[in-house]
Chains A and B, each alone.
Chain A
Amino acid sequence: MACRQYFVLVVQIIPGDDRRSTESICWAGEERLFSAGLNGEIIEYDLEKLCVKYSLDAYGGPIWGIVPNPSGTQLAVCCDDGSVKLFSITPENIVFEKSLDRQKDRILCLAWHPSRPQIVTGSVNAIRAFNVSSGHLFQTLKMDRPLISGKKRDCIVWSVAVLSCGEIVSTDSTGKLRFWELERGTLIRSFNVTNSDALCLAVSKEEDSLVVGTAEGTILQFQHLDVQAGKETKEWFRTRPFRYHTHDVKSVAHSSTALISGGFDGQIICRPLMEKMETKTYEAVLRKIMFPHRHLVSCAQASRLLLFQFPKHLELWRLGQTNESGVDGDVLNVSQDPELLLKLKSKGSECIRCSTISRCGSWVSYTTSSRLFLYRLHYENQNISISRVPKMPPLQTAALQLLFSWDAKQLYVGSQGGLVYVLELSDGACQHSYTLEPPSASPHSVHLLTASSDGSLLAAAFVDSHIDIYNVKTQKYVCSVPQYSSPPTAMSICPSTENLVIAHADQQILEFNIAEKQYTHWSRKVLQHGLHRDWLERDTPITGITFNPSKPEHILMHDNYMFCVLDKSLPLPNDKTSLTNQRSLKSLSEKMRRSCAHAFKITREYKPLLFMDLLDDGELVMVERPLVDILSQLPPPIKLKKFGT
């Protein structure tokens, strides 16, 4: 996830695996990502290949936390067996260094002292402090155990942090945020944060603010403020409570300008801090990340099929049909119900990274972290048969993006280093034909792929917002799109004009003429005129672009909350007019409508929108993912009494 000036974008996803669980995650050294989980292993990830680089058993039972030291040279993990283990980070891997004094009970969290070689750990009913150089325990802070119906309950320390002044901050299962004096081991102050568990804690770099996440779904900000203006004495005050999550807040982070929280409800919330913002505009708006910013659905436009990607399986559905027609707003009777044709479970423990279906619906391919799978589908009347292509050609690097050519004779496989493998498909077999290589070696992997309808052009986009265009027929590199400042989130080649339309994360839309190797006239007009403010201030990136063959000037686009038809022949709206004017246009006469219409025809009727595509018979298919469905699959949240219920 990248959090730049204007947008939040899910850049890359490392697919999961049943065999490992992730309990804690951290950045260490020079942008190296480590995680540790309840299977007892420490994992480093390869951020180019988007897979596990190596894993190492810490031999301490389940690991509850992993934290690097402030200089990024050592990793400390806290284990279920009561040990804290230190690993030194070498350029290649990590090497076990030593264990600190082992304790009797499990250690659930730990924190390094910002300046001294000390580690503070939290476990059940106690906080302990260790000297890293000697490895010895030097301080134990006992938690008072709450009495619930006459019995002493355990107080679980969920999270600890150490301030540079030597104070320890802790949150625990009694819902308290406490500050301790490390040297003497005394409780300095205590805040009742919640009636349930206070699960996580993060302190800002300047140590003037901290954020606590609770099991009730609230996050609270505490700030270190002057008690009186002009006086030196400072105190911690509870300043802002926020409630965006419906379930437990499992993790919080405090950046210099925002509070970021991740919850059990699958949402990541980025709450900018107003006082840190120089301009009180769109940047100060709350960001919510609910869905991955990429396709989990693919469509066989010619045969009316949809392929849904789930973590461990694929579902193939045939769309329903109607034989009625109607006017705007009508709901037509479904004469043929949608039908689940196939449920394809992935082999092994690895999750599916990406999947695709060919236009004709006769090929399905998916890839996991380590393997690429290709299936041939046969349709005979109402029956469907599936056969796996047995011998997949060995590829040197892992497949990250998949795309079938328009005529389904080729499978393009995007990979790391900017490579695109072209696999030749024949009936029941698959061969590696050739590899497209970028003119200059790129460290980035292929992020998006799109092909032209005549099967000659292929565009591959990288995370660094670099886009290369190849001619597949001549197997040659054609050109690159001038590099734009923000990464592309969707792109597509128009079947009629062969122009490449690109949507960027900062909501800019560009049209590139491949033949002339330059932006089109319309695109330059857009850049000159600027897009409507409401368009630029949308929250989620465009994740799908498609074209209407019958109306070449139309570009169809969608993000999570809207569907838009961009009519290039109409004037661009300026900031004074309303961007979403469909409702007012509807009430106008035909003539007035023509004078008021602008290029963006937006509907927010369907949301949250996962996918949109145009079928060959001119029907538009959209896939909604109601939040209620997702929430209903989650365990019930802590019941909160709300006023008036």
Chain B
Amino acid sequence: MAALCEAFTLCSLLYSDDAKRQQQDGLQGVEGAGERDSVLVTDGGRTVTLYKVSDRRPLGSWAVRQGQRITSPAVYNHRSGEYVLVHDEKVLRVWKDDDVNFDKVFKATLSTDVCRVHSLPDAEPFILFRGGAVRYLDAMLADPQQEIETVVTEDEKIVWSKAFMDDEQPMLIFITEKHPDWFVYTRHPAFSTCERWRLPPAADCSKVLDFSAVIKNKMVSMVLLYSSGHVCQSEILLASSEQNVEAELLVSPLLQLPEPADTGALIILDDSYIATLTPSPARKKDCLCIWNTSFQTLQDCKEFAQKTWTQLWTYDSKLFIPHANSLLVLRYACQQSCLASALGKGKETQKSEAVSIMNWGELIGSPKQSEPTPAKNPHSVKETPSSSEMSFPLEILPDIQMAPESQIPSLVQRASMSRDLVHLQVAISSIAQGLITRCKKEPKFYPQSSFIKLLESGTLSYSLCPDLITLCVEKQDVQLLQLCLEQFVDLPEDMLCLCLKTFLSVGEAILSKANLNTKSAASYIEEDERRKKAMKMETARPVQNGFSHPIVDNCGVQVLNKRRIHKTGGQFSPVTIRRAVLLNSVLTCPFSETFLLPHLKDLASDQAILFLDYLFYLYKKCNDNFVLSLPGQERLSVMQVLDWLNIILDANFTVLVLTPEAKNLVRSLQKYMKSQMSFFSELNKVEGSLAEIPKFRKPTQSCNRYSIEVLTLY
């Protein structure tokens, strides 16, 4: 979502007589002035003012003489901390904050007309001349009268320009108009390379009103606003190809504004948001709109009562708009857009009682304890004011590193006898760390039962032993992974996604070996008996020379799925009950959409399809019985299922649409959801009619102002 926040007036604008005479209104520019909160406002006539935005307070103001006119808005030279402007086309002025008298500041007269001065943070400002030539400011100051070449052809007029940092090199893009054509130039001032493109004329002969551009990964993405209301996008690859052929740019439509406009301004706010300011003839007002270009949706809109000059600047997440006689500042906020966030979701974190939180205050004395080899720092342990209980579990740490695997469970058992909760936590986490370190060193060492014991103590959390999950994934130990999901309340989303991937891809052979509790899920997961048999056959099939049959494991699941969807119509679970139990433990985990979404995108298409199919199956199960949560220990709720359906669709939408295997599934999902929607809208109607009933409940008592009643008190 993107939204406009409150607007406030930064300053009032006084238009000088000069400006009025020359029919120039609005502002020449709003530029950042070094600090985040300050801007340089150059008005249409003679004045430059430095404002502190949050205070709405001018910090300084300078004006050129009567009769002179600023032709290039003032910019801030980030290197020298000076301000630069050009007045009367050729006269360059450079001054500092403490200069009061503008007549006395540095002045240089150039030989050629200047179009604009551009300044970027961490770079020397440079000057764009009317002829299209570009020079660094310091070079010009060294020799103001030097000859300047002309790049653009005759009659071409620069209408728009913008500077970027590209690989720590400043680069410039400018657009010229030679009626009726438009040309785009890109220039690296340092290399003096110049490339020129032609902008194709719009199909409906509408003219371009405004441009905005951003640079990303050597690609300039330019957005154009046409008078017909079209917003188009064009991309320019900044490959340093030496071809000087006048290539035509490819312009693709991005958005259609509701109304055409004569004037308008547009600005790119973010990867997926643009702001447009256009007069709306229908409403007779100027409208500032924020559009989401990915979903083509209007995010926020603000109407202005008076004229805005259709000028728009942005700096530091604020929009600057001259409105009537004042300069308005609108703060805006853009957030990552995703479809699922619009639908809302409720997470149920039932495991709050098992939260294990380290009391860091008590552990300050022994900062090395969570490290893999704490036993090497015995003095740090002794420094802590702890009793023998504290030091006892730590004493066994060297043993854990050395002892044969058969002795590990008894060591763990001894360590977990500690009574004090804080010390127990320290002990258990140190032992877990020690075991994990050893597992990494010795590939054959894997004390699964001890890990289970440690996890079941309920004191471990992800942050205490971050490597446990990756270790389990490595060892394909789904039982331990499931236990981790149940026990860890602080599981990060990438780990959750890793577990999900493992559960979706792990082979049936491993699943059948794992010790999983399928009782609670058995009440609602119906497996296809035929498939069970097929599975048995598959697991029985010998693998020869490392060759695996194409329908073993996850591929097999998928091929079978296709068959099953056609034949049984989704009556049976797409996964085996063991896999279902594992997936359910993922579904019940708390998560945050924003962080999970990027990781879910990494799911392989067959995994995504299988998971979606399973979620769809669960959802139908909920609906079959009209329940809000499924039976069983984990109490999987329909909201959780829907949340996951949303996020998986959101993350893998393109993949699902493009994969032919998913076509049937997605289509039936869509049909099902549609029927659900119509069903619930009917229910809504019924609810609406019944809502009146409570009002009729006490008909006699509420309307009678006087009544005689019988009341018995016992």
Partner-B contacts on A (CB < 8 A):
144, 147, 149-150, 186, 192, 320-322, 325-332, 334, 337-338, 565, 582, 585-586, 593, 597, 601, 603, 605, 620
**Given A144-B9, A320-B708, A322-B708, A331 and B714 contact (CB-CB distance below 8 Å):** no
Q: Is the C-beta of B105 less than 8 angstroms from some C-beta in chain A? A: no
**Given A322-B708, A334-B707, A338-B706, A150 and B713 contact (CB-CB distance below 8 Å):** no
What CA separation (Å) do A147 and B323 show in the bound complex? 12
Which single residue of chain A is at the shortest CB-CB distance from B714?
A: A585
**Given A144-B9, A147-B305, A192-B6, A331 and B713 contact (CB-CB distance below 8 Å):** no
What CA separation (Å) do A329 and B709 show in the bound complex? 7
What CA separation (Å) do A149 and B303 show in the bound complex? 11
B700 to chain A: which residues have CB within 8 Å? 331
Task: Apart from A147-B305, A325-B710, A603-B711, list 13 A-B contacts with CB within 8 A.
Answer: A144-B9, A150-B306, A320-B708, A322-B708, A326-B710, A329-B709, A329-B711, A330-B709, A331-B709, A332-B709, A334-B708, A605-B711, A620-B711
What CA separation (Å) do A150 and B303 show in the bound complex? 12
Residue pairs across A and B with Cβ atoms less than 8 A apart, 19 shown, are: A147-B305, A192-B6, A321-B708, A327-B710, A327-B712, A328-B710, A328-B712, A329-B711, A331-B700, A331-B704, A331-B707, A332-B709, A332-B710, A334-B707, A565-B713, A593-B714, A601-B713, A601-B714, A620-B711
Which single residue of chain A is at the shortest CB-CB distance from B700?
A: A331
A331 to chain B: which residues have CB within 8 Å? 700-701, 704, 707-709
A321 to chain B: which residues have CB within 8 Å? 708
B704 to chain A: which residues have CB within 8 Å? 331
Over the window 291-306 of chain B, the binary record of Cβ atoms lying under 8 Å from chain A Cβ atoms (1 yes, 0 no) is 0000000000000011
What CA separation (Å) do A325 and B6 show in the bound complex? 67
What CA separation (Å) do A330 and B712 show in the bound complex? 10
We find that the number of chain B residues with CB closer than 8 angstroms to chain A is 18
A329 to chain B: which residues have CB within 8 Å? 709-711
Which single residue of chain B is at the shortest CB-CB distance from A337?
A: B706
A334 to chain B: which residues have CB within 8 Å? 706-708
Evaluate contact between A320 and B706: CB separation under 8 angstroms: yes
Q: Min CB distance, B55 to chain A, in Å?
A: 8
Which single residue of chain A is at the shortest CB-CB distance from B6?
A: A192
What CA separation (Å) do A329 and B710 show in the bound complex? 6
Evaluate contact between A582 and B714: CB separation under 8 angstroms: yes
A326 to chain B: which residues have CB within 8 Å? 710
Over the window 1-17 of chain B, the binary record of Cβ atoms lying under 8 Å from chain A Cβ atoms (1 yes, 0 no) is 00000100100000000
What CA separation (Å) do A328 and B714 show in the bound complex? 11
Q: Min CB distance, A607 to chain B, in Å?
A: 12
Q: Min CB distance, B3 to chain A, in Å?
A: 15
Q: Min CB distance, B530 to chain A, in Å?
A: 50
A582 to chain B: which residues have CB within 8 Å? 713-714
Evaluate contact between B714 and A149: CB separation under 8 angstroms: no
B706 to chain A: which residues have CB within 8 Å? 320, 334, 337-338
**B6, B711, B713 — which one has the most chain A CB atoms within 10 A of its CB?**
B713
What CA separation (Å) do A326 and B711 show in the bound complex? 9
B701 to chain A: which residues have CB within 8 Å? 331
Over the window 682-714 of chain B, the binary record of Cβ atoms lying under 8 Å from chain A Cβ atoms (1 yes, 0 no) is 000000000000000000110010111111111
Q: Min CB distance, B60 to chain A, in Å?
A: 17
A328 to chain B: which residues have CB within 8 Å? 710-712
A interface majority secondary structure: loop
What CA separation (Å) do A325 and B57 show in the bound complex? 81
What CA separation (Å) do A409 and B706 show in the bound complex? 32
The 8 A-B pairs at the shortest CB distance, nearest first, are namely A328-B712, A601-B713, A585-B714, A326-B710, A332-B708, A330-B710, A322-B708, A150-B305
Q: Min CB distance, A540 to chain B, in Å?
A: 20
What CA separation (Å) do A186 and B52 show in the bound complex? 14
B708 to chain A: which residues have CB within 8 Å? 320-322, 331-332, 334
A325 to chain B: which residues have CB within 8 Å? 710
What CA separation (Å) do A620 and B712 show in the bound complex? 12
Which single residue of chain B is at the shortest CB-CB distance from A620?
A: B711
What CA separation (Å) do A620 and B9 show in the bound complex? 67
Evaluate contact between B709 and A149: CB separation under 8 angstroms: no
Q: Min CB distance, A105 to chain B, in Å?
A: 23
B714 to chain A: which residues have CB within 8 Å? 582, 585-586, 593, 597, 601
Q: Min CB distance, B52 to chain A, in Å?
A: 12
Within 8 A of A (CB), among B36-71: 55, 57
A186 to chain B: which residues have CB within 8 Å? 55, 57
**B305, B306, B701, B712 — which one has the most chain A CB atoms within 10 A of its CB?**
B712
A147 to chain B: which residues have CB within 8 Å? 305
What CA separation (Å) do A582 and B711 show in the bound complex? 11
Q: Min CB distance, A141 to chain B, in Å?
A: 14
What CA separation (Å) do A321 and B708 show in the bound complex? 8
Which single residue of chain A is at the shortest CB-CB distance from B326?
A: A147
B306 to chain A: which residues have CB within 8 Å? 150
Q: Min CB distance, B698 to chain A, in Å?
A: 11
A585 to chain B: which residues have CB within 8 Å? 714
What CA separation (Å) do A201 and B586 show in the bound complex? 51
What CA separation (Å) do A15 and B306 show in the bound complex? 54
What CA separation (Å) do A644 and B55 show in the bound complex? 39
What CA separation (Å) do A623 and B707 show in the bound complex? 11
A593 to chain B: which residues have CB within 8 Å? 714
Which single residue of chain A is at the shortest CB-CB distance from B305?
A: A150
Which single residue of chain B is at the shortest CB-CB distance from A147?
A: B305
Within 8 A of A (CB), among B275-326: 305-306
What CA separation (Å) do A593 and B709 show in the bound complex? 23
B57 to chain A: which residues have CB within 8 Å? 186
What CA separation (Å) do A337 and B305 show in the bound complex? 61
B709 to chain A: which residues have CB within 8 Å? 329-332
Q: Min CB distance, A94 to chain B, in Å?
A: 43
Q: Min CB distance, B321 to chain A, in Å?
A: 14
B712 to chain A: which residues have CB within 8 Å? 327-328
Which single residue of chain B is at the shortest CB-CB distance from A602?
A: B713
What CA separation (Å) do A322 and B710 show in the bound complex? 11
B9 to chain A: which residues have CB within 8 Å? 144
Q: Min CB distance, B253 to chain A, in Å?
A: 36
What CA separation (Å) do A640 and B713 show in the bound complex? 43
What CA separation (Å) do A263 and B701 show in the bound complex? 29
What CA separation (Å) do A337 and B9 show in the bound complex? 66
What CA separation (Å) do A593 and B305 show in the bound complex? 73
What CA separation (Å) do A332 and B708 show in the bound complex? 6
- Cross-interface CB contact of B305 among A149, A565, A597, A603, cutoff 8 Å: A149
What CA separation (Å) do A577 and B124 show in the bound complex? 83
What CA separation (Å) do A412 and B714 show in the bound complex? 38
What CA separation (Å) do A192 and B706 show in the bound complex? 47
What CA separation (Å) do A593 and B714 show in the bound complex? 8
Q: Min CB distance, A227 to chain B, in Å?
A: 16
Which single residue of chain B is at the shortest CB-CB distance from A144?
A: B9
What CA separation (Å) do A326 and B708 show in the bound complex? 10
What CA separation (Å) do A620 and B711 show in the bound complex? 10
Q: Min CB distance, A633 to chain B, in Å?
A: 15
What CA separation (Å) do A326 and B712 show in the bound complex? 11
What CA separation (Å) do A255 and B267 show in the bound complex? 52
What CA separation (Å) do A325 and B710 show in the bound complex? 8
What CA separation (Å) do A214 and B179 show in the bound complex? 59
Q: Min CB distance, B4 to chain A, in Å?
A: 14
What CA separation (Å) do A151 and B339 show in the bound complex? 41
A192 to chain B: which residues have CB within 8 Å? 6
Which single residue of chain B is at the shortest CB-CB distance from A581?
A: B714
A601 to chain B: which residues have CB within 8 Å? 713-714
What CA separation (Å) do A186 and B56 show in the bound complex? 11
**B306, B704, B710 — which one has the most chain A CB atoms within 10 A of its CB?**
B710
What CA separation (Å) do A537 and B712 show in the bound complex? 25
Q: Min CB distance, A305 to chain B, in Å?
A: 14
What CA separation (Å) do A601 and B393 show in the bound complex? 63
A565 to chain B: which residues have CB within 8 Å? 713
Which single residue of chain A is at the shortest CB-CB distance from B323?
A: A147
What CA separation (Å) do A1 and B275 show in the bound complex? 57
Q: Min CB distance, A394 to chain B, in Å?
A: 41
What CA separation (Å) do A270 and B711 show in the bound complex? 34
Which single residue of chain B is at the shortest CB-CB distance from A188?
A: B55
